[in-house]
Each structure stands twice: as C-alpha cells, then as structure tokens.
C-alpha cells in the first residue's frame, strides 16, 4: 500500500484566491477514497465539487460561447478505460456524464447524444449560466465589436481567432489527478471551453493524450488553450516522461518550459501524479491544491 494523493486545479489564468475551492475538491476526493471508492470515483468526486463552484469555468459558471450558448466538455480516465463528452448542454455535472460514457462500449459522446445519455441515467439538468459569466461574456463581446464582429466571424475565421485571443483566451477549467492507496491512478477534467469560442468547438479536455492521460506510470491533466495542448499532445508527453523515470514535478516543469519557449503568449497549466509524488506547473498562475493520507 502507498499514500493516497490528490491534486486539483481551478484553471490556467484563474485567480489564485479560488484555491480554497481546489482544497474542498481534494477533501471530497479523499472522502470518496475513505469510503472505499476507487481512484476514478475520487477524481469524479473532486471535479463535481469544482463544477458546482461558480467561480470555475466548468458545470455551473461555465463560460459562454460566441453565440451566448454554453457547451461543456468533460472526461474521466484510469489505466483501464476512458469516457468523455463534448458539446453537452444543460446538464449540471458533465463529469458524471463522462463517467457514464466510461461504462458504455463507447469513448466519446457529443451533443444531443450526450445529453440524452445524461437524462437516461438520471443526471440533473441545470441552468449553467451565472450572472458573472454573462457579464464577462458581454464585456468580451464588447471588445470584439459585438454585432458587427459577430457578423464578421462567419466569413473571416482568422480575424475571429485573432480578436478572440486578444479578448482573453482560456481560463478556469477544472481537473483532478488521484493516486489511490492501492497504487492505481485516475484523472478527470471538465470545462466550458475557452472564451468566445465558436459553437461546436471542442477543446483538449475530452481528448485522451491531449488534456488528460492516465497509464501505468501515473495520471496527468492540463488546462489552458486547448488547441495548443491538443497539438502538442501535452498530457501524453508528460506521462511518457514519467514512464521513462522522470519524477512528476520535473515532467510537468519540463513540459511547461517547452511550451513557454515555443509559445510565450499562451497560458497552460499541468498537474501530474506518479508512484513517488505529485507535481504542478503553469506558465502564469493557476489555483491548485494537494492533499494526501
Ligand atoms: N483547456 C480548456 C479548453 O481549451 C480551457 C481551459 O483549460 O481553461 O477547452
């Protein structure tokens, strides 16, 4: 038996002051383990707490897309399997739907099918847009030139991306990595996506190897601009380093240093846990917490 270890985060570029929410999520994960739950149960329990925390961009409080809609992505993974949803609308805890997908023969279910699965397994619906998220969206749309810009993006996507990036990229996504006392690993992540994304855009969170990865050497989750995390297959790379004997902290430090060198303008954060310990690294700032027993 080993020491159980949990790390949680509240998103690259999010305010460090919300780290108390990450601590509460760690406590929920340890509680799930204490009740005999698996590493996967613990990762899900942690992310449910973060999704219900309105200060985070996941579940309630998710960011609005360019058209004012909310579409969420979430994933769960352990060394045995993977389940994810993308473009899910109006369900309180997307990570629970990802957990339900994990139990099916499928790996990723999107849109209407994901919502139908959620309702079929009895998961509650919710209004995910908060007043704070609506205000942020309105302010960003103002920066983008509102009506005129909204008409423009359909024809000139490049201009859209440049302007959207200037208006503020990723932030506040949530994630958790867990090592249970039996040495098994799991990870979970959930997000409303990046600010002012096109409807239907899917980020890194529900893509194994990109925003989440678990294998025999450990568990990894990422946060930040999903397009970059995906292109770099960042979590798979960190896991590969750990499998080669690099400790978790050094593996995430190296990955962040590489991102910073190539893309100094992009916010990215990583959490990892391996057989020996855990690590967190970020290009700028990221609220996170760890707990063990
Ligand atoms: N990685 C998330 C996405 O691109 C956003 C974030 O981490 O804040 O959907």
Total Cβ atoms within 10 A of residue 1: 7
Residue 169 has pLDDT above 80, yes or no: no
Strand-strand pairing, 212-215 and 72-78: unpaired
pLDDT at residue 122 in the model:
98
Q: Is 194 in the pocket of ligand 1 (CB under 6 A)?
A: yes
Residue 21 sits at the vertex; the CA angle it makes with 20 and 25, to the nearest 5 degrees, is 115
pTM to 2 decimal places: 0.94
Q: Is 185 exposed, middle or buried (0-12, 13-18, 19+ CB in 10 A)?
A: buried
- Helix-strand-coil split of the chain, %, nearest 5: 40, 25, 40
Q: In what helix (H) or strand (E) does residue 150 lie, and over which residues does it extend?
A: helix 146-153
Q: Which domain, by its residues, includes 109?
A: 5-292
Question: Cα separation of 285 and 158, whole Å?
Answer: 28
Q: In what helix (H) or strand (E) does residue 203 lie, and over which residues does it extend?
A: none
Task: Copy the structure tokens of residue 73.
Answer: 């992505």
Residue 202 has pLDDT above 80, yes or no: yes
Q: Is 56 in the pocket of ligand 1 (CB under 6 A)?
A: no
The beta strand positions in the chain, using DSSP E, are: 5-9, 72-78, 82-88, 108-110, 174-179, 185-191, 212-215, 218-224, 268-274, 278-282, 288-292
Looking from the CA of residue 193, the nearest atom of ligand 1 is 9
C-alpha 182 – ligand 1 centre gap (Å)? 31
C-alpha 171 – ligand 1 centre gap (Å)? 6
pLDDT, one tens digit per residue, over 60-99 is 999 998 888 999 999 999 999 999 999 999 999 999 999 9
51-60, 70-79, 92-101, 191-200: which has the minimum mean pLDDT?
Answer: 191-200
Nearest partner of 241 among 231, 250, 230, judged by Cα: 250
Query: Is the pLDDT higher at 18 or at 144?
Result: 18
Domain count, the chain: 1
For the chain, percent of residues with pLDDT exceeding 70: 90
pLDDT at residue 161 in the model:
57
pLDDT, one tens digit per residue, over 225-282 is 898 999 999 999 999 999 999 999 999 999 999 999 998 878 899 999 999 999 999 9
pLDDT at residue 139 in the model:
81
Q: Which three-class secondary structure state does DSSP give residue 139? A: helix
pLDDT, one tens digit per residue, over 125-162 is 999 999 999 998 888 777 766 555 555 555 445 555 55
**Three-state SS string across 30-63, please?**
HHHHHCCCCHHHHHHHHHHHHHHCCCCCCCCCCC
Q: In what helix (H) or strand (E) does residue 148 lie, and over which residues does it extend?
A: helix 146-153
Task: Copy the structure tokens of residue 282.
Answer: 């970020």
Task: Tell which one of 14, 222, 223 to mutate to probe ligand 1, the residue whose CB is within 8 A of the most ligand atoms.
Answer: 223
- Whose tokens are 């529900």? That residue is 206
Rounded to an integer, the average pLDDT of 167-175 is: 72
Residues present in the chain in total = 293
CATH number for the domain harbouring residue 124: 3.60.20.30
């Amino acid at each position: 038996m080993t020491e159980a270890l949990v790390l949680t985060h509240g998103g690259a570029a999010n305010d460090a002051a919300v780290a108390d929410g990450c601590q509460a999520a760690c406590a929920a994960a340890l509680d799930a383990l204490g009740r005999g739950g698996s590493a996967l149960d613990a990762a899900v329990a942690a992310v449910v707490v973060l999704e219900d925390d309105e200060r985070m961009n996941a579940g309630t409080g998710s960011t609005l897309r360019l058209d004012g809609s909310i579409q969420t992505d979430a994933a769960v993974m352990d060394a045995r399997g993977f389940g994810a949803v993308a473009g899910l609308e109006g369900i309180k805890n997307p990570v629970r739907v990802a957990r339900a997908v994990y139990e099916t023969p499928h790996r990723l279910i999107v849109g209407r099918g994901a919502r139908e699965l959620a309702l079929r397994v009895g998961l509650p619906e919710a209004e995910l847009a908060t007043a704070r998220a609506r205000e942020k969206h309105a302010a960003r749309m103002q920066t983008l030139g509102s009506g005129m810009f909204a008409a423009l993006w359909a024809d000139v996507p490049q201009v859209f991306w440049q302007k959207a990036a200037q208006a503020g990229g990723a932030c506040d996504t949530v994630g958790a990595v867990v090592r249970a006392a039996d040495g098994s690993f799991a990870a979970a992540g959930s997000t409303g996506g990046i600010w002012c994304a096109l409807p239907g855009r899917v980020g890194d969170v529900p893509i194994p190897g990109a925003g989440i990865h678990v294998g025999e050497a450990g568990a990894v989750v990422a946060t930040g601009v999903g397009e970059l995390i995906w292109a770099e297959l960042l979590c798979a790379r960190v896991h590969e380093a750990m499998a080669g004997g690099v400790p978790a902290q050094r593996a995430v430090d190296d990955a962040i240093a590489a991102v910073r060198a190539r893309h100094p303008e992009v916010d990215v954060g990583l959490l990892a846990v391996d057989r020996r310990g855990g690590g967190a690294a970020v290009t700028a700032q990221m609220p996170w917490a760890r707990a063990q027993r």
